[in-house]
Structure 1
Amino acid sequence: MDADVLVIGGGNAALCAALMAREAGASVLLLESAPKAWRGGNSAHTRNLRCMHQAPQDVLVDAYPEEEYWQDLYKVTGGNTNEHLARMVIRASSTCRNWMRRHGVHFQPPLSGALHVARTNAFFMGGGKALVNAYYRSAASLGIEVRYESPVDKLEIEEGQFKAAWCNGQRITAKACVLAAGGFESNREWLRQAWGQNERGEWPSDNFLIRGTAFNQGVLLRHMLEEHQADGIGDPTQAHMVAIDARAPLYDGGICTRIDCVSLGVVVNREAKRFYDEGEDFWPKRYAIWGRLVAQQPGQIAYSIIDSKAIGRFMPPVFNGVKANSLAELAHKLDLDASAFEATIAQYNAACQTGQFDHTVLDNCHTQGVMPQKSHWALRLDKPPFFGYALRPGVTFTYLGLRVDDTAAVRFNDIPSHNLFVAGEMMAGNVLGKGYTAGVGMSIGTAFGRIAGLNAARVAQSLSVLSGPVADEKQEHASH
């Protein structure tokens, strides 16, 4: 055998699996498809981890109990989630930080401001790139072998059991394997196939930008679903998709391209019409629906419009907004019909009800008599200069994946494999049927990466596969 445990992937979930397997005594080989400079996949673009806690806890303020976390997740997914697995993730999020610190991850003190997540999310000092680098340093110190530029294009599986992987023409064997190679968001052809053509004759995915890595082509995911008939889960059109600056690069624009002023103004499509409630809920709970909303608009483009009252109330993006001293001038610069645009803004302004504006709470500033309504933070757009940001759908990761149970085992005809496991984006659809809330992707990857790695190591050592609760217990033992 080339290793006791083979881990395929190079992001957070893969690294958690590799570290856990090595801590449990297994020899580990990790294959990362990207070059070393681009290692880490989408995890390099992350910032935080959503964490359950019953009381103030190191970098987390107040409390964020299990039931509130679950309700937040249930709401954004519309109930399209496996509650048992979701609650496993939630509970694991409360105990993983000490283990992460042991492997070199640092957390920053809570920040005040417009993010509203100091209570719910722990932020990585230096962001996701620092987290990924810390894990790779720890992997090196523990003797984990890492091979870069090593994409896996096929697996040998017999009767649901992993035998070998093929990488760059080489056959690699291991006693157990963890799949953590990401979704298919960077595969333009697969996105086009999944989204198809709309009623306007457009191919919506042609206008999508990819927030993260260019290396998540979904080769291994498709191979598992089509060649090996592994049990799948999820809708291929569902994804963590946000509204980002239309000027962002095709790949790897990351978080800094997100536009966060949506709830402080209005959003119009290219026909200068509003199409959704901009103030439905706090931005961290709603930012992830806006990519899909924009994808449904003509030309897959929209425009976030604010006035000067909003400046300083949101995290500024990397690109400056288009600035104008009048609405007519802004419409001209954004190539919108000025009459239609001014009429939309006038209708919105007339509908704004006087209230006590407070962007830190669900305030009573709302609209009345206009559709769509704006439920909170509705202030008239009347103080120049005005600003506009063109928006495109930005795909972070796709939700089509492999069905799992609480052991993280891949399933074939509803029978779990004895030695093949999956973590991260390749199985996130079990928890995220649709929607998203900030930091939950890292929670899923960390929880299931650790479970998959530990169970793979136990298999490699010819011991029984552990279930989720027992894996949690073993993880806690390992953390001490």
Structure 2
Amino acid sequence: MTPDIVVIGGGNAALCAAMTAAEQGAQVLILETAPKPYRGGNSRHTRNFRCMHHGPLGPLVDSYTEEEYLADLMKVTGGKTDVALARLAIRSSEECLPWMQDHGVRFQPSLSGTLSLARTNAFFLGGGKSLVNAYYRTAERLGVQVAYEAAVTHLELEDDRIAWVDYTQNGESRRLTPKAVIVASGGFQADTDWLARAWGPAARNFLIRGTPYNRGVVLADLLEQGVAQVGDPTQCHAVAIDGRAPKFDGGIVTRLDCVPFSIVVNKDAQRFHDEGEDVWPKRYAIWGRLVAAQPDQVGYVIIDAKSLNLFMPSVFPPIKADTLEDLAKAMGLPEDKLAKTVATFNAACGDTSNFHPTELDGVATTGLAIPKTNWARPITEPPFYGYSLRTGVTFTYLGLKVDERAQCAIGNRPVSNLWAAGETMAGSILGQGYLAGFGMTIGTVFGRIAGKEAAAHAS
């Protein structure tokens, strides 16, 4: 039987859309490219949801207002956002958290410590994999059907509507003619050739933190047919991750949180950016792009013993040495240049008595061309530790342009039965940069909107 609604993708946004549509009485089929053990896209690797709230809400303490949330977003995007859609996502997030709990998601008690997120971000008990599994269980109870290893190859656009959906499964080509389609199949980051076309050859050195199944097939198909696009193909959520991470699917555990307490150098042992620019959840996403601009797209973190326990432990142990020279040798860095860089940095450090690892402390260097504006302490206490950094791409921002109903368009004309949610349309709000937990907010808010609108259309 042909479903009322086909949802393309199997992550958070797709599941929120599918559950919402099913609750409105629609028959829903999810087409998930991945095999069942790898279902859930990048959502498997997530940890938290950024949420506006007036007063304590669930695991969140105090309050986090719409204006403060928007200011945080404007800071990381440099103002490159659709403010109306951003406000919609922010404002809707408050009602999403109890909705998520009602649909099976469990949250950890509020966090304290290095992340400073107890007020802004609710963390999933068991991480993103638990969230995904909870949603699949709820979706099944609601009658949502799921086809795994179902790779959508084409959506046929006729005038202002999608006439059919083609996909392959078990080596067979299949076709569906649903009343409505929701695209929630992510960006194109797992297609290294597409990344290289956008970024240049340097992109071949990038690591892909998320699923290898987000190759942008549906996105490319719709853009080629004239569906309105948004975003810059060179913009993405990219963070600096452990250089020893796998090419694909290393996930969130490959992230390194040590940058604020370090100096970061390139292969010539030269610093290239202020490591203490802001608290880590707001600034960590700039480091992927910074590393991408360095020779061979690699950077190196240098810390000493007194900083080792100030950040979340890494999945791979750091390189350790008793002297800076030995550390340089072990990391393949020029020994004399690293020693000089560290000595120059140390000499520029002043009074460190106000050092405070979880907030902007103003403990800064003086006289350096590239300052360190917070957490600047001399690197003097052996043993010394190092990590290599590579650019880890989470998702790309080129996507489908949507309105406040999550509906896609050709020019200014809506496609009558096509909606988009999640990373596929996140470029509408994220012009550049990233705010921790905001991808899940976008997926949840616009997944619910898309599900509601598609179900209304189908009925």
TM-score for both structures, normalised by structure 2: 0.98
Matching of residues 372-451 of structure 1 within 5 Å: 372-451=370-449
SS in 2 for 1:3: coil
Deviation at 1:58, TM superposition (A): 2.0
SS in 1 for 2:5: strand
Question: Which residue does 2:366 correspond to in 1?
Answer: 368
Deviation at 1:160, TM superposition (A): 2.1
C-alpha distance in structure 1 between counterparts of 2:322 and 2:230, whole Å:
50
Deviation at 1:293, TM superposition (A): 0.4
Question: Which residue does 2:265 correspond to in 1?
Answer: 268
Deviations 1:14-52 (A, max 9, x none): 000000000011110110000000000000000000000
SS in 1 for 2:4: strand
Aligned: 1:324 with 2:321? yes
Deviations 1:265-311 (A, max 9, x none): 10000000000000000000011110010000000000011101112
Deviations 1:140-184 (A, max 9, x none): 111111000001010111112111100111111111110001100
C-alpha distance in structure 2 between counterparts of 1:19 and 1:129, whole Å:
17
Question: Which residue does 1:89 correspond to in 2?
Answer: 89
C-alpha distance in structure 2 between counterparts of 1:361 and 1:167, whole Å:
50
Matching of residues 143-292 of structure 1 within 5 Å: 143-168=143-168, 169-196=173-200, 203-226=201-224, 228-292=225-289
C-alpha distance in structure 1 between counterparts of 2:142 and 2:403, whole Å:
29
Question: Which residue does 1:100 correspond to in 2?
Answer: 100
C-alpha distance in structure 2 between counterparts of 1:284 and 1:381, whole Å:
24
C-alpha distance in structure 2 between counterparts of 1:112 and 1:70, whole Å:
23
Deviations 1:332-368 (A, max 9, x none): 1111111111111111111112131001221021011
SS in 2 for 1:392: strand
Deviations 1:186-238 (A, max 9, x none): 00110111112xxxxxx211110000100001001011111x11111111111
C-alpha distance in structure 2 between counterparts of 1:40 and 1:334, whole Å:
36
Question: Which residue does 2:451 correspond to in 1?
Answer: 453
Deviations 1:230-256 (A, max 9, x none): 111111111100000111011111111
C-alpha distance in structure 1 between counterparts of 2:32 and 2:89, whole Å:
25
Question: Which residue does 1:122 correspond to in 2?
Answer: 122
C-alpha distance in structure 1 between counterparts of 2:63 and 2:125, whole Å:
21
Q: Aligned letter for 1:391?
A: L
Question: Which residue does 1:469 correspond to in 2?
Answer: none
Question: Which residue does 2:137 correspond to in 1?
Answer: 137
Question: Which residue does 2:29 correspond to in 1?
Answer: 29
C-alpha distance in structure 1 between counterparts of 2:308 and 2:332, whole Å:
23
Extract unaligned runs of 5+ from structure 2. Answer: none
C-alpha distance in structure 2 between counterparts of 1:64 and 1:151, whole Å:
40
C-alpha distance in structure 1 between counterparts of 2:177 and 2:100, whole Å:
29
Q: Aligned letter for 2:305?
A: S
C-alpha distance in structure 2 between counterparts of 1:16 and 1:173, whole Å:
22
Q: Aligned letter for 2:398?
A: L
Deviations 1:105-154 (A, max 9, x none): 10110122111111110000100000000010011111111000001010
Matching of residues 334-345 of structure 1 within 5 Å: 334-345=331-342
Query: Which deviates more from structure 2 when the two are superposed, residues 414-423 or residues 429-438?
Result: 414-423
Q: Aligned letter for 2:448?
A: R
Q: Aligned letter for 2:180?
A: A
Query: Which deviates more from structure 2 when the two are superposed, residues 89-98 or residues 272-281?
Result: 89-98
SS in 2 for 1:174: coil
Q: Aligned letter for 1:223?
A: D
SS in 1 for 2:282: helix
Deviation at 1:54, TM superposition (A): 1.8
Deviation at 1:384, TM superposition (A): 0.5
C-alpha distance in structure 2 between counterparts of 1:125 and 1:308, whole Å:
32
CA contact (8 A) 2:51 2:97 kept: no
When the two chains are superposed, the root-mean-square deviation of aligned CA atoms in Å is 0.8
Q: Aligned letter for 2:284?
A: Y
TM-score for both structures, normalised by structure 1: 0.94
C-alpha distance in structure 1 between counterparts of 2:285 and 2:210, whole Å:
15
C-alpha distance in structure 2 between counterparts of 1:414 and 1:434, whole Å:
24
Q: Aligned letter for 2:301?
A: S
Q: How many residues align?
A: 454
C-alpha distance in structure 2 between counterparts of 1:246 and 1:310, whole Å:
20
Q: Aligned letter for 2:17?
A: A
SS in 2 for 1:130: helix
